[in-house]
Chain A
Amino acid sequence: MMINVRLLQITDSALPIGGYMHSWGLETAIARRIVHDPETLERFTARWLTTSLGPMEGVFAASSCRAALAGSIEDVLSINEKAEASIVASTIRGASREMGEQLVALGSTWGWSAAGLAPYLSGPQGEHGWHHCVAFGLLGALAGADPQTVVTAFLHQAALGMIGAGVRAIPVGHTHGQQVLAYIHDELRTLVDGIKDRAPESAGSGCPFYEVLCDEQTRLYARMFRC
């Protein structure tokens, strides 16, 4: 099996640019003692993936990949608009846009993706900015990957980001961090099977307490992360 090095590039641990500044609500969960060790970090990360990130941004990533493979710029832009209207926590929405814009800017400099991205960058999407999940799905399609592979890579990278934040903030050791990542692989595969073919109209999460945690993170007395 040939490894898709283009997909490997967009899932590199250095990406998304600025991702290391975000904990996606984990910091508040740590402050509230909901997360305090590797076991609780694993539960929090798995819950977040399966009920929040997967059903919303994961569906957007897979469907934007599918739309890009079909050559539908209009559909990709529509998915980006849905992402903008769906992510209510302003810190998460801002982080998603910043990371998406950075990824698109980077992709527009790469030989394998620049020409493919060009038609998407000449339209009206600048009004909102690119959300990371949509940009990832688009670049994944340009990398020649299918929606299932792209959403798997997207969620795996996101899980790694969450666990990396936990390693620094709880703290737990890197060995424990890698074990946590390995433990959630089965749940990740099941999740991908359930969302890879879903229409973008069905994307959404419905985790009010998680959103409250994200909001409260902005009011923590001392914090390491921007969201």
Chain B
Amino acid sequence: MGPRAVGITRQDLVTPPEFQSLHLADQVAGRIGGADIELVRVGEETRLGACYQQIPMRIMPAFSFDDEPAALLYMITLTTGLMDGDGHRFQVKSRPGTRAVLTGQSASRVHPAPVAYSTQQWDVNVEDDAILVVLPGPTIPYAGSRFYQRARVQLAPTGRLIWGDIWHPGRYDRGELSERFQFNRIVQDFEARRGDRLVYRDRFCWNGPWNPSDVDWYLGGHLATASLFVAGPLPDVMPEPVASVRRSVFRLDTGESCLRWCGSPHAVTADLVAVTMRVAASWTGGPGSRPWLINSSDLAPNHWFSIQPETDDGGTSSAAIASKIPAIPLKT
């Protein structure tokens, strides 16, 4: 991957049929941006290779931690989230032998869209013997928002990927000002191929706002849902979720898997992250290995994926496996 000759423009972004009559921002600066990221293996570490960044997105240098097999790469949004007309595009290439977690610094706030829509679009390539975890962070659709997320994943025969999407109901915990399921429309469009074979699709169009009956149908009356695509083997034994979370594991005939959650935003988020890091660890250290990253002491405890839900008995969550793991210093 070489440096881009030209910047990311709205012509690089796909418009779904559901938003065919709408247009992203004409003004590129700060509105249309993204990153091209190459992950390379140098010795035992995974590092950032060629990289192109365009405002409002910034990529932090890859963090490597002692005794951790994977590097941590943050994507930073310099604005307050996705505004009406914003478009972000990411191209990620995980070269052979790399191990990395790519994540956002916080939840993605999708602002109201009175005129157009906003979008995040991904092209991800996972080469042989690479392991990539992509956790963009929970999506928070504000009242009146329109959002299109698109991802195309290409997997080499021995490439492995975990991709997690978490959908919150909006700004749900603000008392009388809470917005729950007041979005206008959300379109999800995810496809993964291994070689020439399409192995997984997740495509939907949610039309809001939702009333309580809609919430009962789509989410079983819960406030949040999540989906995890696992391109690689699942361990035979998975940690049990707390009782307030409904989690289902769907093994696909291709060897890949999909997991779905319904539950509270905190519990769903914590359980998805716990499962993700445990599965990734099983690939690098074998069954029962310590989960990747989530107890590294240099991660702030208020990070979006370090929030720990209460268990059914009010104690510390068993889903937060990391709580019993010794602190790991940041490598300097």
Contact = CB atoms under 8 A, between A and B. Distances in A.
Interface of A: 47, 51, 55, 81-82, 84-86, 88-90, 93, 128, 198-199, 201-212, 215-216
B246 A212 contact: yes
Interface stretch (B37-45, B100-108, B199-207): B199-207
Contact of B260 (A51, A90, A212): A212
B261 A208 contact: yes
A208 B261 CA distance: 7
A208 B191 CA distance: 17
Given A202-B17, A208-B227, A85 B199 contact: yes
A214 B103 CA distance: 31
Contacts, number: 92
B106 to A, nearest CB: 23
Contacts of B18: 202
B251 interface: yes
Nearest to A44: B217
A117 to B, nearest CB: 23
Interface string B104-122: 0000000000000000000
Contacts of A210: 217
Contact of A86 (B201, B247, B251, B254): B201
Nearest to B226: A208
Contact of A82 (B189, B201, B220, B248): B201
Contact of A204 (B203, B219, B254): B203
A209 B246 contact: yes
Nearest to B202: A204
A28 B258 CA distance: 20
B251 A212 contact: no
Central interface residue in B216, B218, B227, B249, by most chain A CB within 10 Å: B218
Contacts of B247: 212
Contacts of B260: 88, 208, 211-212, 215
A43 B199 CA distance: 33
Q: Which 3 A-B residue pairs are closest in the complex by CB-CB distance?
A: A206-B204, A204-B203, A215-B248
Given A81-B198, A209-B217, A215 B250 contact: yes
